[in-house]
Amino acid sequence: MDTHQTTQGNDDKNHGRDPRPPNPRTVTITVDGKKFEIDQHAMTGAQIKRLAGIDPTYKLFLEQRGDDLPIPDDKRIEMKDGQAFYSVPPATLG
């Protein structure tokens, strides 16, 4: 019967297993308009700057409702899918 062949064909695809890798927890963040896919659960401001190639003297901010949140170099924050960060050069007076 054709029913047996159809069932067998479905079993051969992935043998009922999830085809994703064992640790699929990756999130996509945006830094200065560039997307980055990361697999870290938390990062510091300095790590985010390094990832995006941002000058270490720049200030980093997390976009959020209301006032954006400044992210100091030593502050560790939880990474969530869809977060958007931006950098601002240090103020120059003169």
Predicted confidence at residue 1, as pLDDT, reads 44
> Is the confidence at residue 17, as pLDDT, over 90?
no
Domain ranges of the chain: 22-88
Q: Does domain 22-88 match CATH 3.10.20?
A: yes
Q: Which residues share a beta bridge with 89?
A: none
Other Cβ atoms less than 10 A from the Cβ of 82: the count is: 8
pLDDT of 4 reads 42
Q: Encode pLDDT of 31-85 as tens digits.
A: 999 999 999 999 999 999 999 999 999 999 999 999 999 999 999 999 999 999 9
Distance of CA 61 to the CA centre of its chain: 15
Using DSSP bridges, classify how beta strands 34-38 and 27-31 pair: parallel, antiparallel or unpaired: antiparallel
- How high is the pLDDT of residue 38? 96
Query: Structure pTM?
Result: 0.71
